[in-house]
Protein backbone atom coordinates (compact mmCIF):
# COMPACT_ATOMS: atom_id res chain seq x y z
CA UNK A 1 0.00 0.00 0.00
CA UNK A 2 1.29 3.49 -0.82
CA UNK A 3 2.29 5.75 2.06
CA UNK A 4 -0.05 8.54 0.90
CA UNK A 5 -3.29 6.70 1.69
CA UNK A 6 -2.73 5.90 5.39
CA UNK A 7 -1.11 9.29 5.98
CA UNK A 8 -4.06 11.13 4.46
CA UNK A 9 -6.52 8.94 6.38
CA UNK A 10 -4.64 9.71 9.61
CA UNK A 11 -4.79 13.43 8.86
CA UNK A 12 -8.57 13.24 8.40
CA UNK A 13 -8.94 11.25 11.61
CA UNK A 14 -6.99 13.97 13.42
CA UNK A 15 -9.39 16.51 11.93
CA UNK A 16 -12.30 14.53 13.34
CA UNK A 17 -13.78 12.89 10.25
CA UNK A 18 -13.21 10.01 7.86
CA UNK A 19 -13.91 9.58 4.16
CA UNK A 20 -15.33 6.15 3.44
CA UNK A 21 -15.68 4.57 -0.01
CA UNK A 22 -18.19 1.80 -0.61
CA UNK A 23 -18.72 -0.71 -3.40
CA UNK A 24 -22.35 -1.13 -4.34
CA UNK A 25 -24.47 -3.44 -6.44
CA UNK A 26 -28.18 -3.14 -7.10
CA UNK A 27 -31.06 -4.17 -9.27
CA UNK A 28 -32.51 -0.95 -10.62
CA UNK A 29 -35.87 -2.23 -11.87
CA UNK A 30 -38.05 -0.68 -9.17
CA UNK A 31 -36.11 2.56 -8.75
CA UNK A 32 -36.33 5.86 -10.61
CA UNK A 33 -32.57 5.95 -10.91
CA UNK A 34 -29.64 6.32 -8.55
CA UNK A 35 -30.10 9.97 -7.64
CA UNK A 36 -32.21 10.98 -4.66
CA UNK A 37 -35.40 12.76 -5.72
CA UNK A 38 -38.56 13.70 -3.84
CA UNK A 39 -39.50 11.80 -0.70
CA UNK A 40 -42.05 9.60 -2.46
CA UNK A 41 -39.81 8.60 -5.38
CA UNK A 42 -37.69 5.48 -4.69
CA UNK A 43 -33.98 5.91 -5.47
CA UNK A 44 -30.79 3.99 -4.71
CA UNK A 45 -29.23 7.05 -3.09
CA UNK A 46 -32.23 7.61 -0.85
CA UNK A 47 -32.27 4.07 0.50
CA UNK A 48 -28.50 3.92 0.96
CA UNK A 49 -28.29 7.23 2.81
CA UNK A 50 -31.11 6.17 5.11
CA UNK A 51 -29.40 2.85 5.85
CA UNK A 52 -26.00 4.45 6.51
CA UNK A 53 -27.59 7.06 8.76
CA UNK A 54 -28.99 4.26 10.91
CA UNK A 55 -25.51 2.73 11.19
CA UNK A 56 -24.24 6.18 12.16
CA UNK A 57 -26.70 6.29 15.06
CA UNK A 58 -29.00 8.77 13.39
CA UNK A 59 -26.32 11.16 12.14
CA UNK A 60 -27.19 12.17 8.57
CA UNK A 61 -25.02 10.66 5.82
CA UNK A 62 -24.79 12.14 2.32
CA UNK A 63 -23.16 10.13 -0.47
CA UNK A 64 -21.59 10.93 -3.83
CA UNK A 65 -21.38 8.30 -6.58
CA UNK A 66 -19.16 7.46 -9.55
CA UNK A 67 -22.05 7.59 -12.01
CA UNK A 68 -25.76 8.36 -11.63
CA UNK A 69 -27.52 5.47 -13.34
CA UNK A 70 -30.98 5.99 -14.85
CA UNK A 71 -34.31 4.44 -13.95
CA UNK A 72 -34.28 0.60 -14.23
CA UNK A 73 -30.49 0.50 -14.83
CA UNK A 74 -28.49 -1.89 -12.65
CA UNK A 75 -24.98 -1.98 -11.22
CA UNK A 76 -22.52 -4.55 -9.99
CA UNK A 77 -19.64 -2.10 -9.61
CA UNK A 78 -20.92 1.28 -8.43
CA UNK A 79 -18.59 3.26 -6.14
CA UNK A 80 -19.73 5.90 -3.66
CA UNK A 81 -18.09 7.89 -0.88
CA UNK A 82 -19.20 9.82 2.17
CA UNK A 83 -17.64 11.80 5.01
CA UNK A 84 -18.50 11.06 8.60
CA UNK A 85 -17.44 11.99 12.13
CA UNK A 86 -18.91 8.73 13.45
CA UNK A 87 -16.45 5.95 14.28
CA UNK A 88 -17.48 2.52 13.01
CA UNK A 89 -15.49 -0.45 11.76
CA UNK A 90 -15.56 -1.13 8.04
CA UNK A 91 -17.34 -4.40 8.80
CA UNK A 92 -20.03 -2.44 10.66
CA UNK A 93 -20.56 -0.07 7.73
CA UNK A 94 -20.99 -3.01 5.34
CA UNK A 95 -23.13 -5.33 7.45
CA UNK A 96 -25.08 -2.57 9.17
CA UNK A 97 -25.99 -0.96 5.85
CA UNK A 98 -27.02 -4.29 4.34
CA UNK A 99 -29.25 -5.07 7.32
CA UNK A 100 -31.16 -1.85 6.63
CA UNK A 101 -31.25 -2.00 2.83
CA UNK A 102 -33.84 -3.64 0.57
CA UNK A 103 -32.86 -7.03 -0.82
CA UNK A 104 -32.08 -5.55 -4.24
CA UNK A 105 -29.31 -3.22 -2.95
CA UNK A 106 -26.07 -4.52 -1.38
CA UNK A 107 -22.87 -2.92 -0.12
CA UNK A 108 -19.99 -5.18 -1.21
CA UNK A 109 -16.93 -3.55 0.39
CA UNK A 110 -15.81 -0.50 2.38
CA UNK A 111 -12.50 1.30 2.69
CA UNK A 112 -11.16 4.41 4.42
CA UNK A 113 -9.91 6.83 1.77
CA UNK A 114 -7.72 9.94 1.69
CA UNK A 115 -9.37 13.35 1.52
CA UNK A 116 -8.50 13.85 -2.16
CA UNK A 117 -10.40 10.74 -3.24
CA UNK A 118 -13.71 11.48 -4.98
CA UNK A 119 -15.96 8.72 -6.27
CA UNK A 120 -16.84 10.71 -9.39
CA UNK A 121 -13.95 13.07 -10.12
CA UNK A 122 -11.14 10.62 -9.30
CA UNK A 123 -12.50 8.04 -11.76
CA UNK A 124 -10.42 7.49 -14.90
CA UNK A 125 -12.85 5.24 -16.78
CA UNK A 126 -16.18 3.50 -16.45
CA UNK A 127 -17.30 0.20 -17.86
CA UNK A 128 -20.78 -1.03 -18.73
CA UNK A 129 -22.23 -4.31 -19.91
CA UNK A 130 -25.47 -4.40 -21.86
CA UNK A 131 -26.99 -7.88 -21.73
CA UNK A 132 -29.28 -8.97 -24.59
CA UNK A 133 -31.31 -12.17 -24.36
CA UNK A 134 -31.70 -13.27 -27.98
CA UNK A 135 -34.52 -15.78 -28.36
CA UNK A 136 -37.92 -15.81 -30.11
CA UNK A 137 -39.66 -16.51 -26.77
CA UNK A 138 -39.67 -13.87 -24.05
CA UNK A 139 -37.88 -14.99 -20.88
CA UNK A 140 -39.95 -15.74 -17.80
CA UNK A 141 -36.86 -15.42 -15.59
CA UNK A 142 -34.71 -12.30 -15.23
CA UNK A 143 -37.14 -10.34 -17.41
CA UNK A 144 -36.11 -7.08 -15.70
CA UNK A 145 -32.40 -7.88 -15.73
CA UNK A 146 -31.84 -8.47 -19.45
CA UNK A 147 -33.14 -6.91 -22.65
CA UNK A 148 -35.13 -9.39 -24.71
CA UNK A 149 -34.71 -9.25 -28.49
CA UNK A 150 -36.83 -11.74 -30.40
CA UNK A 151 -35.16 -11.13 -33.78
CA UNK A 152 -32.16 -13.35 -34.65
CA UNK A 153 -29.09 -11.13 -34.28
CA UNK A 154 -25.96 -11.58 -36.40
CA UNK A 155 -23.16 -10.95 -33.91
CA UNK A 156 -20.49 -10.83 -36.64
CA UNK A 157 -22.27 -7.85 -38.22
CA UNK A 158 -22.57 -6.17 -34.83
CA UNK A 159 -18.85 -6.68 -34.15
CA UNK A 160 -17.93 -5.21 -37.53
CA UNK A 161 -20.11 -2.18 -36.93
CA UNK A 162 -18.89 -1.63 -33.37
CA UNK A 163 -15.29 -0.96 -34.37
CA UNK A 164 -16.27 2.37 -35.93
CA UNK A 165 -17.15 3.57 -32.42
CA UNK A 166 -13.83 2.70 -30.74
CA UNK A 167 -11.49 5.64 -30.13
CA UNK A 168 -12.05 9.35 -29.52
CA UNK A 169 -15.13 10.72 -31.28
CA UNK A 170 -17.91 13.26 -31.05
CA UNK A 171 -20.79 11.07 -29.83
CA UNK A 172 -23.53 13.68 -30.31
CA UNK A 173 -25.58 11.16 -32.30
CA UNK A 174 -25.61 8.84 -29.29
CA UNK A 175 -26.51 11.31 -26.55
CA UNK A 176 -29.96 11.98 -25.13
CA UNK A 177 -31.51 15.34 -25.97
CA UNK A 178 -31.46 16.30 -22.28
CA UNK A 179 -27.85 15.26 -21.76
CA UNK A 180 -26.04 17.87 -19.63
CA UNK A 181 -22.45 16.85 -20.42
CA UNK A 182 -20.23 19.82 -21.34
CA UNK A 183 -18.64 17.99 -24.27
CA UNK A 184 -19.89 15.18 -26.53
CA UNK A 185 -16.32 14.06 -27.22
CA UNK A 186 -15.53 10.81 -25.40
CA UNK A 187 -12.91 8.08 -25.75
CA UNK A 188 -14.14 4.48 -26.03
CA UNK A 189 -11.28 2.21 -24.96
CA UNK A 190 -12.95 -1.01 -26.00
CA UNK A 191 -16.27 -2.22 -27.33
CA UNK A 192 -16.70 -5.98 -27.52
CA UNK A 193 -19.63 -8.27 -28.35
CA UNK A 194 -19.49 -11.55 -26.40
CA UNK A 195 -21.76 -14.54 -26.98
CA UNK A 196 -22.65 -16.56 -23.90
CA UNK A 197 -25.41 -19.08 -24.55
CA UNK A 198 -28.55 -17.11 -25.43
CA UNK A 199 -26.92 -13.93 -24.15
CA UNK A 200 -25.17 -11.34 -26.29
CA UNK A 201 -23.12 -9.06 -24.05
CA UNK A 202 -22.07 -5.62 -25.24
CA UNK A 203 -19.01 -4.79 -23.11
CA UNK A 204 -17.86 -1.18 -23.35
CA UNK A 205 -15.28 0.88 -21.46
CA UNK A 206 -14.73 4.62 -21.91
CA UNK A 207 -13.27 7.59 -20.09
CA UNK A 208 -16.84 8.86 -19.60
CA UNK A 209 -20.31 8.39 -21.05
CA UNK A 210 -23.06 10.67 -22.27
CA UNK A 211 -26.67 10.30 -21.13
CA UNK A 212 -28.17 7.21 -22.85
CA UNK A 213 -24.93 6.69 -24.82
CA UNK A 214 -24.68 2.94 -24.17
CA UNK A 215 -28.39 2.33 -24.79
CA UNK A 216 -28.23 4.27 -28.06
CA UNK A 217 -25.16 2.31 -29.17
CA UNK A 218 -26.97 -0.91 -28.28
CA UNK A 219 -30.00 0.20 -30.30
CA UNK A 220 -27.88 0.87 -33.39
CA UNK A 221 -25.98 -2.41 -33.10
CA UNK A 222 -29.14 -4.48 -32.61
CA UNK A 223 -30.69 -2.83 -35.67
CA UNK A 224 -27.60 -3.81 -37.67
CA UNK A 225 -27.54 -7.30 -36.17
CA UNK A 226 -31.16 -7.81 -37.21
CA UNK A 227 -30.21 -7.03 -40.83
CA UNK A 228 -32.24 -3.82 -41.00
CA UNK A 229 -29.15 -1.70 -41.67
CA UNK A 230 -25.64 -2.47 -43.00
CA UNK A 231 -22.61 -2.44 -40.66
CA UNK A 232 -21.48 0.85 -42.23
CA UNK A 233 -24.53 2.54 -40.73
CA UNK A 234 -22.87 2.82 -37.31
CA UNK A 235 -20.12 5.02 -38.77
CA UNK A 236 -22.67 7.03 -40.76
CA UNK A 237 -24.70 7.75 -37.62
CA UNK A 238 -21.55 8.75 -35.73
CA UNK A 239 -20.38 11.11 -38.47
CA UNK A 240 -23.79 12.76 -38.92
CA UNK A 241 -23.80 13.79 -35.27
CA UNK A 242 -27.60 13.87 -35.24
CA UNK A 243 -29.50 11.93 -32.57
CA UNK A 244 -32.56 11.61 -34.83
CA UNK A 245 -30.55 9.54 -37.31
CA UNK A 246 -29.53 7.00 -34.69
CA UNK A 247 -32.63 4.87 -34.33
CA UNK A 248 -34.37 3.70 -31.17
CA UNK A 249 -32.91 3.96 -27.67
CA UNK A 250 -32.63 0.41 -26.31
CA UNK A 251 -34.46 -0.59 -23.12
CA UNK A 252 -32.67 0.04 -19.80
CA UNK A 253 -33.27 -3.43 -18.32
CA UNK A 254 -30.08 -5.05 -19.63
CA UNK A 255 -27.70 -2.22 -18.72
CA UNK A 256 -25.18 -2.63 -15.87
CA UNK A 257 -22.45 -0.37 -14.56
CA UNK A 258 -19.87 -3.08 -13.87
CA UNK A 259 -16.60 -1.28 -13.11
CA UNK A 260 -15.10 2.10 -12.28
CA UNK A 261 -11.34 2.54 -12.69
CA UNK A 262 -9.27 4.73 -10.37
CA UNK A 263 -5.55 5.53 -10.03
CA UNK A 264 -3.56 2.70 -8.43
CA UNK A 265 -2.77 4.82 -5.37
CA UNK A 266 -6.31 4.28 -4.06
CA UNK A 267 -6.06 0.47 -4.15
CA UNK A 268 -9.79 -0.23 -4.17
CA UNK A 269 -10.75 -3.82 -3.36
CA UNK A 270 -10.93 -6.04 -6.47
CA UNK A 271 -14.21 -7.75 -7.33
CA UNK A 272 -15.40 -9.90 -10.22
CA UNK A 273 -16.98 -8.20 -13.19
CA UNK A 274 -20.74 -8.52 -13.06
CA UNK A 275 -23.55 -9.02 -13.32
CA UNK A 276 -23.28 -12.11 -11.14
CA UNK A 277 -24.75 -14.49 -13.74
CA UNK A 278 -21.93 -13.48 -16.13
CA UNK A 279 -19.13 -13.55 -13.57
CA UNK A 280 -17.38 -16.36 -15.44
CA UNK A 281 -16.88 -14.31 -18.59
CA UNK A 282 -13.31 -13.20 -19.35
CA UNK A 283 -12.08 -9.67 -18.82
CA UNK A 284 -11.91 -8.41 -22.40
CA UNK A 285 -10.36 -5.06 -21.55
CA UNK A 286 -7.61 -4.06 -23.93
CA UNK A 287 -4.56 -2.02 -22.98
In the predicted structure, residue 90 carries a pLDDT above the cut 90: yes
Strands annotated E in the chain: 18-26, 64-65, 74-84, 105-113, 125-134, 147-149, 167-170, 185-196, 199-206, 255-261
Q: Are residues 55 and 165 in the same domain?
A: no
Q: Are residues 211 and 166 in the same domain?
A: yes
Query: In the annotation, is 3 catalytic?
Result: no
From CA 145, how far away is CA 147, in angstroms rounded? 7
pLDDT score, position 92: 97
From CA 76, how far away is CA 275, in angstroms rounded? 6
From CA 269, how far away is CA 24, in angstroms rounded? 12
Q: Does 267 reside within a domain? A: no
Query: In 10 A of CB 111, how many CB atoms?
Result: 20
Q: 96-106 b/e with 16+ CB inside 10 Å = b?
A: bbeebbeeebb
Q: Does 71 reside within a domain? A: yes
Q: Are residues 192 and 118 in the same domain?
A: no
Domain boundary at 122, 153, 184, which? 122
**pTM for the model:** 0.92
What integer is the mean pLDDT of 223-227?
97
Catalytic residue among 3, 70, 83, 170: 70
Query: Which has the higher per-residue pLDDT, 179 or 60?
Result: 60
Q: How many domains does the chain have?
A: 2
pLDDT score, position 11: 62
From the annotation, which residues make up the binding site?
Answer: 128
From the annotation, which residues make up the binding site for substrate?
Answer: 128
Q: Does 84 reside within a domain? A: yes
CA-wise closest residue to 130 among 60, 70, 58 = 70
In the predicted structure, residue 84 carries a pLDDT above the cut 50: yes
Which residues, in sequence order, are bridge partners of residue 134?
149
- Which domain covers residue 147, as residue numbers? 125-257
Q: Does 269 reside within a domain? A: no
Q: Are residues 68 and 165 in the same domain?
A: no
Amino acid sequence: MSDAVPVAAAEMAAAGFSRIALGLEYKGARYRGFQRQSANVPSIQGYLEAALSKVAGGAPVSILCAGRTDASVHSSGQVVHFDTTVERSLHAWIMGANMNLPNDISVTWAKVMPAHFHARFSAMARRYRYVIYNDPIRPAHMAEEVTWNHRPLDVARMREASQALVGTHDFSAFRATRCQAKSPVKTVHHLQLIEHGRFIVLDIRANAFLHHMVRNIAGVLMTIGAGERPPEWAREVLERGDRHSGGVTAHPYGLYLVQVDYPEEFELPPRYLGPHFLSGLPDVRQP
